[in-house]
Structure formats: C-alpha cells, structure tokens
Structure 1
C-alpha cells in the first residue's frame, strides 16, 4: 500500500491518467508515445503500489473499477493543481505560457459555451504559448474548485452569500427562470394562472443541491421539496416523470428541453428567479495578464451572446 508519493509514482499516475482519459490502452499510445506492453506494465506496477485494481482489460474492452474512478478523479485534481502551480510560477518571471484551467458550470446554454470558445480563442491568439483546459462542474462544486486551486477561472451563476475568499467578476448577464412542470402533471392545465384554492405546497417538488433555499420561497408560499438533484439536467429528468414540479432556467425550455412541452406553472409567474452570471476565481489565484485578458474577453463575448 502506498504511504508516501515518490517521483516514480507521479510518472505511473500520468500513464494511468492518460489511459483513463482516452478510455483505453490503444488510444493512449500516441498520447503517451509508449507501446501497449509498456503501458500495461506501468498500470500493473501502479496497481501493486496502490494495492488496488484500477481497471479491467480483456475481451470486454477497457473498464475502470470503482476504485479506479476515485483514483482518476484524485489524479485529475493533482495534475490540475500542479499545472496551475507551474503556470503561476512562470508568471512571476513574466513568462506567460502553460496551461490555464477554465471551469464552466454544467447546464449552461449553448450561447454561453460558444462565447467561452471565442474568449478562449482570443486569449490563445494574444498569448501564443497558452493552452486552455475547459472543464464542467456541477453547481454545488463551483465554489470549491475556485478555492481549491484546481482551476484558474470559473464561469457560473452564484446566488448564495458570497465568500470573501472568492473574487466575483460580474458579467451583467442574468439567468432567469421559474417553476415548471411536465405536460402530464396535474398543474399543467392551469396555464393562465392558478385558481383560488390550489396550493403549490401540496405538490412534491425537486430542488437543486447548493441552490439557496430562498429560491423555494415566494411570499407565503413554500415549495414542498421532496428530493434533490445535482444539476438542472437531472432536475429536468425528474420533472418529466410528471411527479414533480421544479425550478428551471428559461433557456433550457428553449434549447435542451425544446419540444418536451414543459409548462410554466400558473402562467409563468410562480417562483421566478434571476441569477447573475459571474467569472469567479479564488483570491489565492494570481491574476496575471493572461487571466485578466481572459476575464475581459469572457465578459465581452458572453454579454454579446445575449443580445
């Protein structure tokens, strides 16, 4: 069992990380510039060091074990943090090269993803030795990744009390939404407004992990949250069962859920919300010229995409 990380272990972890990222030994060969027997030997040695089976390989193809999934996620965090350390160290010498890690909140609309692509392209054009690693995280993870050093910048909404350890760069764009139900839900027939006597707290609702509880309160009304999802996508799936009502951003009904017949409860004025979009970074992140330019371009292109 591994008690202390050695330099040789880092090399073995990089082999495993490439194999897991490529979902197979053969696909990882050109990435690692290693032949399959050498890759297999490295994985076997790592498994012996960790005293864990990380993956199965054979006629059924490559498949990671549950333990392998955990090691992969932890390895990703280590290498992201290491790349960020190297990038920040270089910037102290006015060397603006290396990898920038940018996280986008899962479930953002296509327009935001396209705007992020334009901002990244602009940044890479201005600083020609920069490579940008774009990842997604769930809503309840964005604060952690901003603080942990796993990434440099995060594009996300945030409606909780803002911690002093995170810097928020407003984009002047709001994500608006409201309470929705499936066309098969009993409330779907009230498209023009809820009649007197209909109480929303009598209908099971699904919540979003990490979302402020104030979103589930409107005046004297309170949603009856029976279960939670970790994303708007998961919330959408639960709503479409016809068993739950839930909050969704309006862009989902126009993009992801277009054609599903989602109904705004009570004509669309129930539990309306408006969450501001931010570029975020932990205050321990050094905002060198590369990151400052990227923040500026993200704000510009995302705001332009909403016109």
Structure 2
C-alpha cells in the first residue's frame, strides 16, 4: 500500500491521534484498552491507519514489547501539547458560562523539595473537593522551559522559582517562601578544606551550572563561577559535584544526610543563594474561581509546609505604615 503524507488535519485524524496518545501514555496496547474502551485489534488498526496517514512508523510492537520510535516520541510530545491546549480552550470557554468543570493543567518545576510537592498534592486535593467536576493534570518541566509553558497556553498555572526579567505577559503570584541553597563541592575537592574564600579566586575552579538559571553562574559579592558544563536539573548538578571535578550551587534540600557523606558546603557556608517561589499564569489565561482557589491553596499549603524551603517573615503593620 502506498503511504499518504498528511497535508491537512481532518476530524478522523484527531480520533486516531487520541488513540495513539492513549497508547503512548499507557505504554502499550493492552494497558490502553480500558482507557479507550476499545479492543486490541481495533486499537492496532487505528495506529496502523495513523502511521499510513503520517507516513511514519510510530511504535515497535512485538515480542520485544511496546516502544515508541524516535518519530513516534516527537509525534507523542506534539500530540500532548495540542490536546493540552485544546483542553485549556474548552475549560476557558466553559468558564465564560460559569461552568466550572473539566481539566486544568498545573506545571511544576522539576527538582522541588518533597515538602513542596506534598503541599501541591494537598492544594490539588482541596481544589478538586471544592469543585466536584474538576480534574487536575500535574506535569513537570525543567527550569529552562518554565517561561515558555507559562506563555504558550499549554497549561493554566505554573509553580516555579524565577530569577529572570519578568515578562509583562505573565502574572507572578508571589509565595512567601523561597528555595535556599549554598555553594557545594565534593569532600575530595581542594575547596572542602578551605575556611575562607577571600584569598581564593573562584574562577580558577571548574563549576557546573543549571541551564536557564541566570544566577547559577555567580555567588555573593559578584564573584563568578567558572561554569564549564551545564545540567538541566539540580539532581544532575549534584551528580557533577559528586565527581570531585566541579563546584556548584545546590538547594539545601538536595543535600540529604546520605549526600553529606560525599559533598559539603564550600568555606563553611559563606556562599548562599535564595530563589523566590511563584505561581505563574499567562495573562491570556482567564483566572476563574477554580484557578483563583487553586492559587490560594498552593500558596497557603506551601507556606505552611516549611520543609526544604525557607519562609520569609511578612512585614508587620507597623513596618508597612
């Protein structure tokens, strides 16, 4: 059979893409059956028809098990983005009629502490209890993706640190909590024995930085790190530091008692950082009562958690006046 390249998206293609999305999300045909309420032969036929429409092989199936091809992974990510944007459109449209039902998407920055993640779960639970017909999709993104997802309409709310220039097209709902951390090195590193860095040039020591984090290449008093490699998350930065070849900034909650056997603060904790936490939303997102409640609950539960983060005291009335 001659494959037909897809030039125009049709309604039937949307149905095929939803089948593929379910199969890819469930990591297999059998697991997708109860989700799609379809039998495996029908699912297989739908995937085959989609592959013919796209002129691509999307997945491998057989004795080796289910696995997306390289092209299939790209189609899956694009399909996820499209359906997420469509769900957001439907949710916002319902809100115009005071119909608070459907799916909302919350994106959470990866590598946040377990305390913050527990607070997120409580906030989501509270929101779903208050609005009976609301379902919340929780997704994670690397730090360098945060601004894009907030602006793109792929989600309703984003929970993240942010230390760049704030774009006017994004609302920043400040949480009275910040992520704190220090400059770390491995116990085998020469700087682990140094008490003061006043006489030490930090640029002489290779460092690891986190992509997209502008404050990730300097420390207090304007002293810059000599960043030689970049990581996409804090856990990767920690692994690089543990090699003994690099120094770098890390949130304190990632330096667990087990990790303290391998890495230590540089110069008796002289160098520290603090990153503010926010709930972000694009200004194109209509903040209906559901989203406003979710923001309020995220703020309250995170401020109450106090685990892996530092709450900053709010100014007193006397100080404000």
Check the 8 A contact 1:215/1:273 in 2, yes or no.
no
Scaled by the length of structure 1, the TM-score of the pair is 0.95
Bigger Cα displacement from structure 2, 122-131 vs 241-250: 241-250
CA–CA distance in structure 2, aligned partners of residues 238 and 201 of structure 1: 17
Matched, 1:262 2:266: no
Aligned counterpart, 2:292: 292
**Cα displacement (A) at 1:184:** 2.1
Cα distance, 1:140–1:260 mapped onto 2, change above 3 Å: farther
**Cα displacement (A) at 1:199:** 2.0
Match runs of 1:28-107 below 5 Å:
28-107=32-111
SS in structure 2 opposite 1:267? coil
The Cα offsets for residues 247-289 of structure 1, whole Å up to 9 and x where unpaired, read as: 111111138x64543211111112x211110000000000000
Match runs of 1:106-255 below 5 Å:
106-190=110-194, 192-194=195-197, 196=199, 198-213=200-215, 215-219=217-221, 221-254=223-256
Check the 8 A contact 2:131/2:290 in 1, yes or no.
yes
| Unaligned runs of at least 5 residues, structure 2 | 308-321
Aligned counterpart, 1:282: 282
| Unaligned runs of at least 5 residues, structure 1 | none
CA–CA distance in structure 2, aligned partners of residues 258 and 119 of structure 1: 30
CA–CA distance in structure 1, aligned partners of residues 131 and 176 of structure 2: 26
Aligned counterpart, 1:5: 9
Aligned counterpart, 2:273: 273
CA–CA distance in structure 1, aligned partners of residues 216 and 184 of structure 2: 17
CA–CA distance in structure 2, aligned partners of residues 195 and 276 of structure 1: 28
SS in structure 2 opposite 1:160? coil
Matched residues, number: 303
CA–CA distance in structure 2, aligned partners of residues 127 and 136 of structure 1: 23
SS in structure 1 opposite 2:181? strand
Cα distance, 1:214–1:135 mapped onto 2, change above 3 Å: closer
SS in structure 2 opposite 1:222? coil
SS in structure 1 opposite 2:65? coil
Scaled by the length of structure 2, the TM-score of the pair is 0.91
Q: Please give the root-mean-square deviation of Cα atoms over the aligned residues, in Å.
A: 1.5
The Cα offsets for residues 216-264 of structure 1, whole Å up to 9 and x where unpaired, read as: 1543521101111111111111111111111111111138x64543211
Check the 8 A contact 2:209/2:216 in 1, yes or no.
no
CA–CA distance in structure 1, aligned partners of residues 162 and 213 of structure 2: 8
Check the 8 A contact 1:103/1:135 in 2, yes or no.
yes
Cα distance, 1:107–1:278 mapped onto 2, change above 3 Å: same
CA–CA distance in structure 2, aligned partners of residues 59 and 146 of structure 1: 41
Cα distance, 1:218–1:11 mapped onto 2, change above 3 Å: same
Check the 8 A contact 1:173/1:303 in 2, yes or no.
yes
